[in-house]
Structure formats: structure tokens, C-alpha cells
Structure 1
Amino acid sequence: MGKKPKDESLFIRGHATISPVIRHRRSSRPIDDADIGSRPKEACSPSKLGSRDYSGHSPPKQISGKQGLGRHGQIRHVQEISGREASFCPLPPHLSPHTMTALNAIGAIAAAVSGGRHVVVSTSTSSGRSLCYNVPVLESISPPSSTSCALYIFPTKALAQDQLKTLLEMTQGQSNNNNSHVSIYDGDTPMKDRAKIRDSARQLITNPDMLHMSILPSHAQFRRILSNLEYVVIDEAHSYKGAFGCHTALILRSHPKFIFCTATLANPKEHVMELAKLDDVELVNNDGSPCGAKHFLLWNPSVARAQERRPSPVQEVSYLFAEMVQHGLRCIAFCKTKKLCEMVLARTREVLDETSPELANSICVYRGGYVAEDRRRIEADLFGGKLRGVATTNALELGIDQAGRSGRRSKEPISVYVGFEGALDQYFMNFPQKLFGKPVEHCQVDSQNHKVLGQHLACAAFEKPLCPVMVALKEKGCLVNNSGVRKYVGPDNKSPSRTVSIRAIEHDRCKVIDKQGYRVLEEIEESKAFFQSDIALPPTSASSSKTGMVRTTAQANSCKVTTEWACFDRIWKSNNVLSDSIEVDLPPYSFDTQAAWVTVPKSVRAAVEQRKLGFQGGVHAASHALLSIVPLHMMCSASDLGTWCADPQQTSKTPERILLYNKHPGGIGLASQVKLLFGELLIGALQLISTCTCTNLDGCPNCIQSFACSGYNKNLDEAAAVLILKGVIENER
């Protein structure tokens, strides 16, 4: 065909509900960091796909041929994203001889950092962003007389391990090389090694959780490092959003020099300035890294399911996973949850036991909860080639864009996005241009959440006495006046950081107790106590959420969300049939947050009722569709936002509005962003419902049904939702 061989790389990705990705890496170590540009392309049929050279040889017939896995039309779209050639610039003359020899290119970062400014590097994956902080750091600590130190902060342990290997490789051969200068200090670090690391490390690699729970509360033990800090490196800055971003913004404060690295964002400069409360940051976004053309396939298992060929999308992923392993591709399958990892692994091994039993043990699972030794062993086996495949959660994820990391040094990878039975997945399957043609998203972080601020004030008072009068903490008995300053005492005088999780905002918890043995089984958040407990029975659909607005004239404002429970349903596990309902007398759960909404015109309601459709069910269904579309337009998770869900037994008047509220107490700044995007969200929700092929009056999981619905998807009206959305869109114009 006259084309150079492509890298033997394949991704299988499922979005939203589950995110499996399969990729091959040819190198023996983790891939560094590259981005996906976008260029629209017509969809290809499976037969056309089979004629293309995807990995240096023809694709396996089982995948692309008429008798293969894709023979039922699962391949909905093929997208090719063009590559780019490398661009070069001279190395800065002030670099040390060793660094000058070790590097081929450094980009614009050297000038920005050497000028003493805070810097944010926002370039594509695999563009060599790690050089942008490693080179300045190594230059600062390399002089014999230097006492400078650097703090590296990564959101995951896997990233920390990856960067430790990189740093050790870069310092190999230096005359003053001392591996003890570079150390990881996290929850996996043995207690016996911690004192030595505190005394000798000059490049300390950690994560925000360890910084919050161990380093800052014990800052006297880290005085040598903290007092000599010249650089603070924050990698994967785009991951600091939502509740995690709120907490991290109150942990990070001004240091001599911040170096941030992030995937391509629409607002990288504004995001990191809010994250670290900086007045100004130098933006570096010129990307000169080479990148081969990338090939994406959208794979929709629901087509095969309609023909009764596959019992579940998980099995489809398992068949593809097994197929890639049998053809010699080293792969990673990213899954949304630990349970799905285990399901994919079990089913894939069943397939391999039938076809290639010698390969059944060449795949395994990698997820959170494993001890450090097991994680390191799996990483080494995968990157060393001993393992051919791993099913994993994002515990192994090396950045926001897994697909962008496949194929490096201008090699051409293939990525397969597997759509599951979720509204967003099916929206992408029907509108692939929305996936490849969307502008880069904004990243939102709100450091003004009062609930989070109160938690960190207690932590700050423990770390250092506070001079201002802290009335709220004093009333709680957490502060005492000691020689004119406020000092933390708190319960048992223990560090409050131990009770403040930076991955969540809510910290009021309920204990689940075994009455027979009076043993505490677990502790869960108060808001989830009646939903998440594996021991308590699930709540009935009679549970409801009502939202009281502070002001109803604006499109975004503060609100109070109250959840009430009426009874529990007892359901037989064997057949999922309702046994009976038990009334409960539980106090309502309320919290203050933020919401955004639009009003449904009275004329639209009248039109819906004139056609004998359910207005309540229509608003409920439209709200679900809107909620499903939000992650397409802004960086947030499905657990960040909620909506009003209709209660069939509700006697009060249905509110004439479509509303989304922030599910985090106090809000995390998403409501204001939703307000700006509401017009696009309405159009996307209408497209989602209109293109669904289901014939049910109450829709399906691909359009208006939501797994997070507190009303268990009862009282939904798809036809009414279409009328309401059309009416609201017309009224907004």
C-alpha cells in the first residue's frame, strides 16, 4: 500500500459506564507523555476496514472479516487523526555538560523557568512534558554546593513509580550521582525507610494525600526539605478538579517556583492560578513533539445484542481482549470499576482456555487495594513483556488520555472505543463528530467552598497556631487561646488531617454495626448511608429529592437539597422480584449547594398535557438526558451533579424547570459553568433522545434512564421529554 508499518498498538475503550482500553507498548518501560488532534473522516464499513494495514500486517480475520467479531456491524465509525513532524530548537547554553549530552531537545521551558517565574506546560500526551520539569530541577541540585530540593506531586502511585525510573535514568552516570537523592514518600514507603528519606532526599516524590496527611502535619520532620524547596512540580494538573481540586487548592500555597504540567486544556493558565492561588503563570503550549497518525474505531456492541449474538458488552470486550492477546499484542484493558476488571479477566480467561490455554495465565488484573509488592511486580511483568495483557482501573493510568499514549516515535497506533449501554456512550456512537470535533474542555476548580475551607482551617491550626479569631472552630472546642494565638486541640488532640479526606467534601459518617456482635462493620458518608450499605436493604422508589431555591429569577444560584425516605423495598436476589415494603421513620438529609436551571414555559406544559402526556415524567426524562450529556461538555464526573427525580407518589405540583444541582455540599463551581452551557446541553439532550431506537414509553439506558435515579427510573415519559426540550430550546432562542 506504500505506507510505513504502523505500531502494533490497539486500544479497546468503553466510556462512561465502563472504560476498557487495550493498548500495546513496544518499549520496555512506561510511555512518557502526546495529544490527539482531530480531523473528521467518513465512517468505514467492516469490509473497508479489513483492507487497511493497521499493524504492519493485515488485521486478524476474526476481527474484521465477514466471519469475525465485527461481522454484525459493530464498527460504527473509523477516524484517522493526522500526525505531525518534530520541530527542534537549540539547547540552552547554560545547561550542564551532562544535561547537554543527555538531551536532544528541551523546548521553551528553560527560558521560562530560568527567569524565576511559575510555569504551566500544556501540551499533548507523549510530548516530553516530564523533561520540562526534570531538567530545571536537576540543574538546580547538581552543583556540589547546592542544597536545593524539589517536591514532585503526582495524583497516582503508578505515575510516581514511572517518574522515579525516569529520574534514575537521567542521573545515571553523573559524577555526583546518589540514588538516595531521589525517593518516593507515599503510603507504600516502608516505615523503616522514612527517616532516612527525610534526612537525605533532595527530590521527594509524593501525592496530595500524603502531603496532606503526613508531610504538612509533621512539617518539622521535613524542615530540611521544605526550607530548601526551589521547585514544586505538579504533574497531571488537569486531574485536580471537583472535590479533589477543592481540597488540593487549599493544600498548595505559594512556593519559590511552581512547574505545572497538564494535558491540553482550554484554560490551563487560569486553572493552575486558581489551584495554587498565584497572581501570574507563564504558559508554555508550543508542542514540537513528533506524532504518528492515529486511528480510532468506534465499536458498538449493542448492534450485536440486538441480533442476540452477545449477552453483554463485557463479553464483547473480553472477546476482543482475548483476540489481541492471541495475536501477540501486549495490551491494557481499562475498566471503570474493580468489579468490571474482574469480570473482563474471568471471561477473557474462559475464552483463552478454550482457544489458547497456554495464554490464560498471561493476563491479570491491576487495581487499587493490592499491596505495593504486588503492584510493582505486575508493572514490571507488563512493561518487561512477561504479561501480555492487564485489565485495570485508572490505578495504572498514566495520564488523562490513554489512547494518546499508544504509538510513539511517529508510529501509528489503533484505538478501539467500545460503547456500553449508557446514554453518553450511545450518543458518541450516533454522533462520532461530537467526540472528535469538540473543542478542548475547560477544567473547573473552586477554592471558595466554605465547607472545605472549614476542614482545612482545623488542619492549618494543628500545623501552626493561628492568630485570627476562628469563631466556628472555637465553638466546636477545636481551638484554645494560648498567649494570644489560637492553637488546635481538637478531639484527643489528634491531627485533624487524619479525618479529612481530600477526595471528598462530606465527612459526616454513619457506622454500620452488627447488632449481634456489636461490631462496627464499616463507616460510610451520611448522604449515602441508606443507598450504599451492603447490609441495609435498598431504599424504595418512594425516596425523593426536593430542591428549594433561594432566588428563582436567576439561572444559577444557591439551593438546599433535601432527601427524604419513606420505606425500603425488600427484593429477592434470585429473581429480582419485590417481596414487600417496610415503612421507615428516618430524618431527612439536607445540604446547601449550587444549582443551575431553565424554566419550562407554561405554553409548553399546556401543549404536553393537551396531548395526554405526563408533564412530570417529561421533565424527569429531560433532566436525565441533560445529566447524561454534561460530561461531554465539561470536565466532571457523573457523581458531581444530580437532578430532580420524580416521585410517583408525589402530591405537590411538579416544578416547571429543568434543573441540575451540585451533589457536593457547598458546591464546587460547576453550576456557573453549567449555566453558560445550558443551551448546548438542551440541544445535546434532544439529539440523544431523538436518535434512540428504543420503542419503550419510558425509554432505555441509552437515552433517558439513569443508573443514579433516586426514583429508580419510574415515571419517565420519552415523548413528553422531546416536546419539552423542543419548547424550551425554541423559547431560549
Structure 2
Amino acid sequence: MRAGRAADLLADLTQPPTRRTCLTHVEERPAREGRRGFFPEWADPRLVAHLAERGITAPWIHQQEAAELAHGGTHVVLATATASGKSLGYLLPVLTAIGARELEPEARRATALYLSPTKALAADQLTNITTMADGAGLRDARIAVYDGDTPTEQRRWVRRHGTVVLTNPDMLHFGILPGHEQWASFFRALRYVVIDECHSYRGVFGSHVAMVMRRLRRIAAHYRADPTFILASATTANPELSASRLIGQDVTPVVEDGSPRAGLTIGLWEPGTRTRVDGRGPGRSDDAGPEGEADPAGAGAGSGPDAAKATDDGAPAGVDAGDGEGGATSGSGATSEEPLRRSATSEAGAILADLVERDVQTLVFARSRRGAELVSGSARRLLEQKAEHAFAPELADRAKRVAAYRGGYLARERRALEDSLRSGELKALASTNALELGIDIAGLDAVVVAGWPGTRASLWQQFGRAGRRQDRDGGALALFVAREDPLDTYVVHHPETVFGAEVEAAVFDPANPYVMTPHLCAAASELAIRDGEESIFGPTARDLLTTLAARGVLRSRPTGWYWTMTESAHELTDLRGSGGEPVRIVEEASGTLLGTVDAASAHTQVHDGAVYLHQGMSYVVNHLDVERAVAFVHREDPLHSTHPQTTSTIRIRQVDREVAWSGGVQLCFGTVDVTDQVTGYQVRDVFTQTVLAQHPLDLPPRTLTTKAVWWVIPQERTDAAEIPGEELPGALHAAEHAAISMLPLLATCDRWDIGGVSAAQHEDTGEPTIFVYDGAPGGAGFAERGAEDAHAWLRATADMIAECPCEAGCPACVVSPKCGNGNEPLSKAQAERLLEILHP
């Protein structure tokens, strides 16, 4: 790119009158020279020669340090920036060990297991590792992917002959550890375990993976192997603590980044107000609606049993919800005359079209599956319109080179998109966070992040997809486009929350009994758990084993615990907490399988009558067969969107911690039962978001036992603050929404990972109460993190509400996109008074 290209692009994007006030902050990150180390003496000379042929005459200092530690048998976590070349840090010792017998016949055989959180990353690394091994002429490096897409006939070859096996935690859990006898020769020679992008293992998923790692260590020990773990991570706080918790052993960190860095221009962008479209009022809200993909747990719980008594903003485990923007602000107090901001999704689509028009290869990260589809579709339409009006056929051609990428696509679709992106055939891609991790996308000039991705770590990881080529003279461009959401709005007006703050540490709890229990069963079915051996799983494992034996799930013998059931123990858990068998989405007329959605998301995404998007095409659900896990759909382009409604109740099961707050307020943390049920859905006009109809649904309730933080506020305190009794539910509800939206500043979560309930008189406390809970069985550590730093959490919440210029509440402060009550009732003014009680 020519000098100043990123700055020129930013100037072009802000040129239209409707965008001149959108840019709230620009941050320039200058280019940085790299610092070289040297190749260790033990490194395979063939590898060193091959790397020299590729222009790599010496490793960066962090690559050398990590390789030296791993070669010496020290577990290591390499936590440096995106595109810093972490892969060489682990490939140098791995490939050297695997090729050792070719140089020294007496050397022992070595194998390595590579784990990634996504199939896309494993496929990308397969190409990278194969290229390096083949280039160096390492005959013993037989590299293969072993995942759900691997053909049956190929799996046998991998088990027998693979020396570098790339897989994911799910396949390790379901497909490798249960049949470890078939992998005996591989495990006997296991020298290294590489865990790539380990910062992504957080929440309940991280807890599950931590248990899988302990089971892996146990199986390796059974075959007398003691592998060294090498973990690669984006920059995080205290990476050694998270890595140690993940594998259950001490880990040494390498954090000094010696790689060069291309210049990066970062802009924070707040969309302007909408214009009228075809005389129909505010422009179409392309991202309104709950159909989507918040890759963590998500959304859409509804009103309590009495809307005047209990209100909520729920997040049952695994629900897959979209960003839900669009000005559907029923109950917010906002009048129809108030200007509505353009949605982040439609804004990102317009920005993407402008960048593609300027021949800028761009990746857009959307917050949902629906958002990714709509960004790509919007960009294509705009480019086609410009091509027609300006008689520019080249724009029509570029429109065909814009696509979407998300979970739920079939494997062949994902692979084709990944290949087209690498080859440059695709000019732009709108993706969920499925492409956030690791994949090397050469030549990427710009990244647009549409909506807060959940954590600062994820934001920087996504920004890091831009500027990967070091020869980019003018630097690359990264834009964060804010949704009409409290946290997004707060970030674009407080840039210090991004540029002046440390990234978060991964939060997960391996001791979660809801996670550990099924993994103890799985471990016992793999190998009987001998007496004393259970300590590898943690100090509470023995009590849980005793309980399982008392229930007849395990059989206790003097030598240990045995699995005796006929069912598969590995089917007892789902690592990603999706809640059961994925629901297949089938076009009823043709029988074509379009994709899948996780079980817990099905009730909100593919209920009867739901509008579902796939590859830019709309489908309407004819029927959701809950028992058969199939949603039958037909092709249709309706001018409406669908929005599920739910009811929710919360009961306190156990108080683990209680702290006296100011003025008699109690801050509590403990275990709760949350029961949610999708009771119906609204049909809304896609242009105005006007409610056109409401339909009931008969779906079974779901109960979630999880961890929560809650405040119990004495009624006399709210009376003394002169909060009218009739406005108290609205004050509690608004404060609950705001607190949920701001917790991601402290914990590695986003608002779709957590839920909330508020009640003017909760049945268990007898007082006004606000709950915020983890949207995962047994908890994920997010509510606990909020309880530990409640003062900072409440201060940010109070500041955010006070700084919002609206009078009665809006999506940028207290209106929630996932409120099952339709944001009724809400009282922004009284919420400010209530927060003064909680945080004087």
C-alpha cells in the first residue's frame, strides 16, 4: 500500500455529510522494528536451511525463548500479539523432535498433538505445518487433521501413522480419548501438546477443556508419556495463571514480543442518525431480531410471572442471539420523534461497500450469524446499485466477491470460503468470530468490527487481522463501529477503556461440579480411576466420585472407581454447553440440509414461524420438531422479522457469600435456579419495527442451575431516596439492564453470556432485588468476577447512565436488545437514584 493509504481511506469514509461526526477517536499505532534472536544449536539443520530459503535467517526473540523452554521440557505459554509468528515458537521444537530419528537412528520416536478451538484454524495450520515439513524434507512428519469432517477411511491411517495430528477439544473428548487403545503407538511417543489460541478457552467451555486436558495427561501417563505443553495465546493479563489452570500444571510465560509491526490506524465510529427510506420513516433495521450467533451463550429471556413485580434480561445457556438492534424500543420512554442511530450492521455494510469499491481487501466481524449475512448482503446490494447507476461493471464483479462466513454452514461451504479468502478470489468477507483466531490472511488491508466482540482481548485479536503484511507502507485500517448499546456507546466516548486498559484474563472454573462430574464419568470409562489418582482433577474430585458411586453411576472398588453403565459416558457432556443434539435445519420441499443450530438456541431461532437466514436467503420455519431435533423450513422473503418472548423465574438455592454494602444493602453471591420458557413471538415490520402480530408457542421450559450475584436493597432505602413505589420496578429493571451491559468491562464475557432478573419484592429475599447470573450450568466465573469488583462495576454503570444524553432511556443506556419484557417497565431517572444507593 502506498504511504498514508489508511489515513486516506479514513478521510474518504468520513467525507459524506451523514458521516462527518461519526469518528469519535483515532489512534495511530506506529510501525515497530523487530528484534532477532538466533536458532538454537539443537534445531534441525534442515529446518534452519529451509527457513533461510524463505528469508527467515533468525527467529524473533519470543520465538527463540519459547522454543528453548519447550525443548527443555518446560510447559510454556507464548502470549504475544496477533501475527507475531507464534507458530514458529512451537513448530521448531515439535518438528525437530519428529525428524530426530532421520538424523540419529537411536533417537526415540516422537509425536505431537495440536489443538485448536476451531476447524478453520486447524485447516489453516495444516497447510502451514505441511509446507514447513515438506520444505525441510522431514519424511517422518506425517501431518493430518482428525476432526468431524475427516473421512472414516482416512481416520484409520491417521491413528496408525500420524506424527502431527491436528484436532480440536471436542474431537479429543468424543473421538480420541474414548478409543485411546487404537492410538496406543501415538500416545507412547507423545512428546508435545500444542494448545493454540488458548485465551479462547473461557467460561464453561474453558472449564470443560481444562477437564479434557487432565484426562489427556492421565491417558498419556498410562502409556508412559509425559508430554510438554506449549500454549499460544493472544496478549492477556497473567497468561501463566490461565494456562496453568487450563492444563493443571505450572506454566512459564513468554510475553516479550520481538516481532515487527506494521502501522495500524484505528478509528472508533459511532453511526449517525437514520434517514427516511421510501417515505416509510426510519430506515430498515437490518440487524433487528434475535436470529444470530453470539458464539458464547446468549439471550432473549422474558418477563417474570408478574411484570410489575419481576423483570428480566435473561441468558439461558447456549442461546444463540443476534445483536437485536433496530430501535425496537417499546417501553423505553423514547418517543417516535427521537432520532434513531443507524444500526452497526447496516453501517458496516455501507463501509464495506465503500472499501471494496476502493479495492481494499476487508474483513468485517459481525456480532451474530444474522449480522454476518446482512452485512455481506447489504454490501453486495450497494455495489450492484452503484454499478448500475455509474455504469461501472467492475463494481458488479466485485459485488460477487463479497461473502458471509459463520457457524452452521456445512463443512464444504466453510472450506471453499477459506480457500477463496486465502487465494484473494474473495475481496471481502463478513464473518462471526469464527475467523477471529489464527488464520493467516495475507494482504488484508482493513478490518471492521461491528459491535463490541465481548472482550478487549477479542477486539485486539480482530484488529490484528489487519496489517499482517510487513510491506504495507501506509499501514492498515481498523474500525470499531458501535451498536446502539450501552457498552458500545461508552467505549467510543471513553477510548481509554480500549487503549489505556490491560486486556482481561481468561475466566473459567475447572472445579465447577456441573463440569467435573461428567468428565469423571468419562475418565472412568476410559480407564478405571485408581485410588489416589483422582487428585489430577482437583481437590473436590474424590467427594464427587463418592457421590457418583452412591448413585450407582460408578462402581467403587478398593482399587478405585469403574464405569459400569451401558451408555456412553462421553455423551453426558457437551464441551461448548450447547445443551444437547444440534437441531438440523431442513428445507421441507427438497429435503436439503441447510445447516444446524445448537439445541438451546433452537427455541429462539427456529421456532414455528421464525424467519431464518442462510447465505443471504430467507426461510420461514414450518415446524420445529423438538423430539427429532429437526426444524423444517420453506423459502420465503417476508417483510417482517420475528422476535421470541419468554417468561422467567429465579430462585435462590444457596448463598455462598454475603457482604454488607452501604446503608443496609446486601451484596450476595451464590447458586440460583433460573427457569425460562419461550411462550410466543412477535412479528415486526422490517422497516419500522412496528409490531404487526403476536403468536403463542407451546415449548417446554428450560431450567438452569447457575451462579449469580445479587443486591438486596431494603425497601426503606428506596423510600428514603424518594423512588415512587409505582416506578420502583422500572428503576430496578433499568439498573439491571445497565449492569449487564457493563460487566464485560471487567470479565471476559459479553452481555450474551449473562442474564438478569429484577423484582420489586422477590419471594426469597422479601425486598427489592437485582440478580445478574451466568448463562451456563454451574456458572462460568463471570458473576463471581462482578462480585469481586462490584465497586468498579457499579461506578462504570452509574457513569454510563448519567452520561447518556437521552431523557427517558434508550438503547445506548438502559434499553436492552434481548429483553423478553419488551423493555417494560423502565425508568432511567429512578435508576440513577437507585444506583446512588448502591454506589454512593
Structure 2-normalised TM-score?
A: 0.72
> 1:129 aligned to 2:239?
no
Amino acid at match of 1:345: S
Question: Partner of 2:300 in structure 1?
Answer: none
Contact 1:213 1:497 in 2 (8 A): yes
CA offset at residue 295 of structure 1? 0.9
CA distance in 1, matches of 2:138, 2:693: 71
Residues 318, 347 of structure 1: 8 Å contact kept: yes
Distance in 2, matches of 1:240 and 1:272, equals 10
Residue identity matched to 1:643: G
Cα drift, residue 99 of structure 1: 2.8
SS in 1 for 2:9: coil
Which residue in the other structure is 1:229 paired with?
190
- Which residue of 1 is the match for residue 200 of structure 2? 239
2:655 and 2:437 map into 1 onto residues whose CA distance is 43
Secondary structure of 2:74's counterpart equals: coil
1:488 aligns with 2:563: yes
Identity, % of aligned pairs? 31
Matched, 1:162 2:124: yes
SS of corresponding position for 1:295: strand
The code of the aligned residue for 2:34 comes to A
Which residue matches 2:232? 261
- Aligned-partner SS, 2:752: coil
User: Could you tell me which amino acid in structure 1 is paired with residue 782 of structure 2?
Assistant: L
Corresponding residue number in structure 1 for 2:790: 678
Deviation at 1:622, TM superposition (A): 1.0
Tell me, yes or no, if structure 1 residue 353 matches structure 2 residue 384.
yes
* Equivalent in the alignment of 1:618: 731
Name the aligned partner's letter for residue 258 of structure 2.
G
Please name the residue that 2:13 is paired with.
63
- Please point out which of 264, 267, 281 is paired with 1:294: 264
Q: Deviations over 1:144-191 (max 9, x none)?
A: 234100000000111112211211222233344356x11111111111
After superposition, the CA RMSD in angstroms is 3.5
CA distance in 1, matches of 2:356, 2:172: 40
d(CA) in 2 for partners of 1:265 and 1:136? 24
Distance in 2, matches of 1:434 and 1:60, equals 22
1:270-322 alpha-carbon deviations (Å, 9 max, x no partner): 111111111x2211111111113321111212445699885442322212111
What is residue 828 of structure 2 aligned with on the other side?
718
- Taking the TM superposition and a 5 Å limit, the aligned residue runs for 1:567-716 are 568=679, 571=682, 576-577=691-692, 590-600=703-713, 604-609=717-722, 614-646=727-759, 655-696=767-808, 699-716=809-826
Structure 1 residue 637, shift from structure 2 partner: 3.3
Contact in 1 for aligned 2:759/2:769 (Cα 8 Å): no
Which residue number in structure 2 is paired with residue 75 of structure 1? 23
In the other structure, the counterpart of 2:164 is 203
User: Given residue 243 of structure 1, which amino acid in structure 2 is its aligned partner?
Assistant: V
Shift of 1:726: 2.3
Q: Quick check: 209-218 or 256-265, which moved more?
A: 256-265
Instruction: Give, in whole Å, the separation in 2 of the partners of 1:475 and 1:601.
Output: 43
2:159 pairs with 1:174: no
Q: What amino acid sits opposite 1:498 in the alignment? A: E
**1:573 positional shift:** 5.6
Displacement of 1:100 after TM fit?
A: 2.8
Looking at structure 1, the residues matched to 789 and 75 of structure 2 have their Cα atoms a distance apart, in angstroms, of 31
User: Where do 5+ consecutive residues of structure 1 fail to align?
Assistant: 7-52, 513-521
Please state whether the residue corresponding to 1:405 is helix, strand or coil.
Answer: coil
Contact 1:643 / 1:659 at 8 angstroms: preserved in 2? yes
Per-residue CA deviation, residues 590-613 of structure 1 (Å, 9 max, x unaligned), is: 554322244546664124435677
Of the structure 1 ranges 206-215 and 106-115, higher mean CA displacement relative to structure 2 is found in 106-115
Equivalent-residue separation in structure 2 for 1:269 and 1:148 (angstroms): 26
Check the 8 A contact 1:624/1:705 in 2, yes or no. yes
Q: Which residues in structure 2 correspond to 1:46-445 (within 5 Å)?
A: 53-55=4-6, 58-59=8-9, 63-65=13-15, 67=16, 70-71=19-20, 73-101=21-49, 102=51, 103=56, 104-105=58-59, 106-143=63-100, 144=102, 145=105, 146-177=108-139, 181-253=142-214, 254=217, 255-278=226-249, 280-304=250-274, 311-312=284-285, 313=343, 314-355=345-386, 356-399=395-438, 400=458, 401-408=461-468, 409=470, 411=472, 412-445=475-508
The residue type equivalent to 2:650 in the other structure is S
Alignment of 1:438-517 (within 5 A): 438-467=501-530, 470-474=545-549, 477-480=552-555, 486-490=561-565, 493-504=566-577
Structure 2 gaps, min length 5: 218-225, 286-342, 387-394, 439-457, 532-541, 586-594, 611-642, 660-666
In structure 2, how many angstroms separate the alpha carbons of the residues matched to 1:545 and 1:511?
Answer: 31
| Aligned CA distance change for structure 1 residues 688 and 654 (closer, same or farther; 3 Å) | farther
- Report the secondary structure of 2:658's partner residue: coil
* Equivalence for 1:517: none
Q: Equivalent residue of 1:441, what SS?
A: coil
Distance 1:166 1:130 in 2: 9
Letter in 1 for 2:819: C
Q: Which residue of 1 aligns with 2:588?
A: none
Distance in 2 (alpha carbons) for counterparts of 1:572 and 1:379: 36
2:839 aligned residue (704, 726, 729):
729
With the length of structure 1 as denominator, give the TM-score of the two structures: 0.82
Compared CA separation, residues 713 and 545, structure 1 to 2 (3 A): farther
Shift of 1:230: 0.6
Indicate how the Cα distance of structure 1 residues 377 and 678 shifts in structure 2: closer, same or farther if over 3 A, else same: same
Q: Residue 712 of structure 2 contacts residue 765 of structure 2 at CA under 8 Å; is this kept in 1?
A: no
1:502: how far off? Answer: 0.3
Letter in 2 for 1:259: I
Is contact 1:62–1:68 with CA below 8 Å preserved after alignment?
no
Check conservation: 1:561, 1:590, Cα contact below 8 A. Answer: yes
Contact between 2:76 and 2:253, CA under 8 Å: does it hold in 1? Answer: yes
Higher mean alpha-carbon deviation, 616-625 vs 303-312, is at 303-312
* TM-aligned CA distance change 1:282 to 1:419, over 3 Å: same
Residue identity matched to 1:320: I
